[in-house]
Structure 1
Amino acid sequence: MALNYKETKLVKDTIPALRQHGEHIATVFYKTMLRDHPELHNYFNTVNMHTGKQPRALTSLILAFASNIVNISELTPKLERVAQKHASLNIQPEQYDIVGKYLLRAFSAVLGPAMTPDVKMAWTKAYSVMAKMLTGREAHIYREFENWKGWRKFMIYQKKNETLEGNIVSFTLKPIDGQPLPTFMPGQYITLRITVPGMKYAQLRQYSLSDAPSYDHYRITVKRDQGSNWDYAGGQNDTLTVSSAVSSASDSSVGSVQPGRPGVVSNSLIDEFHEGDTIELTHPSGSFYLNPTMDNSMPLVLISAGVCVAPLLSMLNTVVEKRINRPISWIQASRHDAPFQAHIENMTKRHPNMKTKFFKSRLSDSDVLSYTSSFDNDFLSLTSEDLYLNNGSSDYYICGPEKFMMQASSHLHKYGVKPERVQFEIFSVGSFEMRMD
């Protein structure tokens, strides 16, 4: 049901009002929808709802859709991230009907007389177009999941500190049913669901898989959040119904958990979950990944910061295990001791086509813009050989806090690296679209 010229114009004419009132619209939408459908709380990151990140994410998506309604193909990467996230949360088509109802109601409540019957009809059709695009793609993703439907129980087989501080911990997870696990693309994430004492609803978070695919286990790596201003996730942002940040610092006593406090899940995992305990996961998903089946001998440059090393480590381990003949440059920043550094260094000794650089940077732990950092100088110290700048077909994968990725991408752009050669893990709810300019 495509929009005609008049309807398209009516939607585009609402862009100024959406820019001015979009976050208010999204806030009203979530408030009324969750009041009438409290069961949907089980799909949300409570922290992002309290901080306003989730309404900002929805506003960003609505504005992007309205701005590109005559050129929907420009939205493909953003909608793919949304579809992957929704599939990881087992979102169903009927939930889109609920969202549409309350979203249009919020439009009317905030825009008032500007939401004329014609404008409402135009936005009804526009939302239907977007919903059909997403549900169609999600249906395809669900078919790829084959027999894995919804949540699956896993046992924590191994729990291991990855830093001397003990603030980054890996969990090796094995399926309770003992059935072989499907493979995944290195760089993808799973959604984890746990019950946290003192919280009314289930808590869902996305974590990147931090090892090469295996038939009998997955591994995730979790960072304790002690109140920083950014949350890590191995997933994407701008979803209609759910958030993507992984929080990690929580009070462990029953009844003391503050719903809007960062770290509800990650700290609970680190402090309260032990080997032998059970958690629930959904099928691996995500649009940020390295395809190891492609015949590619071009250089691979992996740039990470802090715990955001997780998806890139999955890529590295996969390339090495599959004996893919690619020159590799590993560049990793951390505030203190780097997670997996010994593993990386041992791997480098065994593989002459691999080189490594480790930096110290506060940007690996925070996105606070006022923080000073030596990362610019560190990056400038990298040689053309470190970054394989002499090869126009080199591939670059970057994962870290937004400012870290902005700085890295800016340098690569100045060095003449083409934007299509650079992939980012966009993990922060409501974050900007990464550009190399």
Structure 2
Amino acid sequence: MLNAKTIEIVKTTAPLLEETGPKLTAHFYERMFIHNPELKNIFNMSNQRNGDQREALFNAIITYAKNIDNLPALHEAVEKIAHKHTSFQITKNQYQIVGRHLLASIDDFFSPGQEVIDAWEEAYGVLANIFIEREEQLYQENENLAGGWRGLREFELIEKRSESENICSFVFKPVDGKPVSAFKPGQYLGIYIQSDKLEFQEIRQYSLSSSVQDSTYRISVKRESGGLVSNYLHDELNLGDTVKLTSPAGDFFMEVEENTPVVLVSAGVGLTPTFSMLETLKDHKAPVTWVHATENGKQHAFKQHVNQIVDANDNMNSLVWYNTPTEEDCIGDDYHFSGFVDLNEFEDAVKRDKVQIYFCGPVGFMQHIARQLVELGVPRKQFHYECFGPHKIV
């Protein structure tokens, strides 16, 4: 536990740090990569260049400082980050490296004196231990699952299939021939890519896009403009090639009883976790509503597969929005509405008693959905979302 003096110092100096904006964390990363260049194989260097990682760390530091006397308020954020860290295989030693450079950066920027540095060192140590302990729990849980493992495991690509003009599915099977561990629909895999075509080892997280299988995992990846890994997977990874994967992780997942109504809402490649949920709900007893938004028919992934699942289950319904449908798109068969998703079109579904709503997509889309849910009076505890960046949805 932190003493009162440490809490006071951190809270009173937090506004000073906040005034710097992400400049402080930019300095931190520059310093760390100079002294510990091996960490460039862990961190997403693309996010370094576009500033996303700097913003995420800055927001985390300020949030921690403001809640340092109320650590339970950080539980949700800690859980999300801890899961992400397990896919990066973060170690105790790396926390020590980060702490050393963070304190040095604070000292470089402000020269606040030893008392302040000592307070921030103590505060960082407490937070680091929270993460270290939780992540060790997750490592052990994953290792002890049937078919589970700790660390990296080698997988072979056994199937590669185009789902739309910009989304491709990849099915992996473990090289050791043993079963794979189960996961909760909505979770993701960490994939490690090493190639002479890439400057550093690249690590990414991609949502699992199928229901649980005994011996394979499937991810579905959108080709991103300038995306190092997505383009590598689309263009360079071929059948028979191998990659290394970490155990499934993630705090965004579906866990519902068979009599609980479910609404799944997605946009673009955000359908990958919700499609895993839909496949899992094939024998569900309560109503299931599938809602998907995409640009047009060319970018509409899993269309036939979704229709097959929905048509085979009387309790399921599907609604599709195309933002800018083409002349070739057929309203009624391919899509039902154009423009942006309007929850009033399925208000009854989102207002069902005890309904659970899961949504995923670009940040603007999720903010649009969240605002409508709030306006319709849906209790916050009944909707859940996945965010792929340092942004707050609601």
Scaled by the length of structure 1, the TM-score of the pair is: 0.83
Check if 1:181 corresponds to 2:203: no
Query: 1:384: which partner in 2?
Result: 347
* Residue 381 (structure 1) shift: 4.8
Provide, for residues 266-308 of structure 1, a one-character-per-residue CA deviation record: whole Å limited to 9, x for no partner.
01110111111111111110000012xx534121000000111
**Amino acid corresponding to residue 53 of structure 1 in structure 2:** D
User: Normalising by structure 2, what TM-score?
Assistant: 0.92
Q: Does structure 1 retain, via aligned residues, the 8 Å contact 2:172–2:218?
A: yes
Distance change >3 Å, CA 296–CA 65, structure 1 → 2 = farther
Stretches of structure 1 lacking an aligned partner (at least 5 in a row): 227-261, 363-372
What secondary structure, in the 3-state scheme, does the structure 2 residue paired with 1:14 have? helix
CA deviation profile, 1:286-332 (whole Å, cap 9, x unmatched) = 000012xx534121000000111000111111121xx2323100000
Query: Pairwise mapping of residues 228-377 of structure 1 onto structure 2 (< 5 A)?
Result: 262-291=226-255, 294-320=256-282, 323-337=283-297, 338-361=300-323, 375-376=339-340
Say if 2:99 is the partner of 1:136.
no
Q: Structure 2: how far apart are the matches of 1:374 and 1:407? A: 15
Distance 2:252 2:294 in 1: 22
Q: CA RMSD in A?
A: 1.5
The one-letter code matched in structure 1 to 2:360 is: C
Residue 427 of structure 1 aligns with an amino acid whose one-letter code is: F
Compared CA separation, residues 79 and 72, structure 1 to 2 (3 A): same
Distance 2:70 2:118 in 1: 20
Query: Matched residue of 2:247: which SS?
Result: coil
Within a 5 Å distance, the mapping from 1:22-171 to structure 2 comes to 22-112=21-111, 115-146=112-143, 148-163=149-164, 165=165, 167-171=166-170
Q: CA separation in 1, counterparts of 2:105 and 2:350?
A: 51
- Counterpart of 1:423 in structure 2 is 384
CA distance in 2, matches of 1:43, 1:326: 43
2: CA distance between counterparts of 1:162 and 1:351? 23
Query: Shift of the alpha carbon at 1:17?
Result: 1.4
Tell me how far apart the structure 2 counterparts of residues 423 and 38 of structure 1 sit (CA, whole Å). Answer: 37
What's the CA shift for 1:22? 4.0
For each residue in 1:223-263, what CA deviation from the matched residue of structure 2 results, as whole angstroms up to 9, or x when unmatched? 1112xxxxxxxxxxxxxxxxxxxxxxxxxxxxxxxxxxx31
Contact 1:10–1:122 (8 Å) recurs in 2: yes
Q: Deviations over 1:59-95 (max 9, x none)?
A: 0100110111111111111111111011111111111
> Per the alignment, in what secondary structure is the counterpart of residue 204 of structure 2?
strand
SS of the counterpart of 2:41? helix
Q: Deviations over 1:10-51 (max 9, x none)?
A: 101122112111412111111111111111111111110111
In 2, are the aligned partners of 1:196 and 1:268 still within 8 Å (CA)? no
Aligned partners of 1:388 and 1:394 also within 8 Å = yes
Measured after TM superposition, the shift of residue 380 of structure 1 is: 4.8
Higher relative contact order (CA 8 A, sep 6+): 1
Say which SS state the counterpart of residue 157 (structure 1) adopts: strand
Read off the aligned partner of 2:67 and give its amino acid letter. N
> What is the rounded CA distance, in whole Å, between the counterparts of 2:323 and 2:5 in structure 1?
52
For 1:275, the aligned partner's letter is L
How far apart in 2 are the matches of 1:383 and 1:149?
A: 43
Aligned mates of 1:388, 1:309 — CA distance in 2: 18
CA contact (8 A) 2:209 2:218 kept: yes
How is 1:185-204 mapped onto 2 (pairs within 5 angstroms)? Answer: 185-204=184-203
Q: Structure 2 CA distance, aligned partners of 1:273 and 1:423?
A: 33
Measure how far apart 1:197 and its partner are: 3.4
What secondary structure, in the 3-state scheme, does the structure 2 residue paired with 1:382 have? helix
CA contact (8 A) 2:350 2:357 kept: no
Answering whether residue 371 of structure 2 is matched by residue 434 of structure 1, we say: no
* 1:333-386 deviation line (CA, Å, top 9, x unaligned): 001221101111111111010001000127xxxxxxxxxx9644x41551323x
Structure 2 unaligned runs (5+)?
325-336
Equivalent residue number for residue 256 of structure 1? none
Deviation for aligned residue 1:194:
1.0
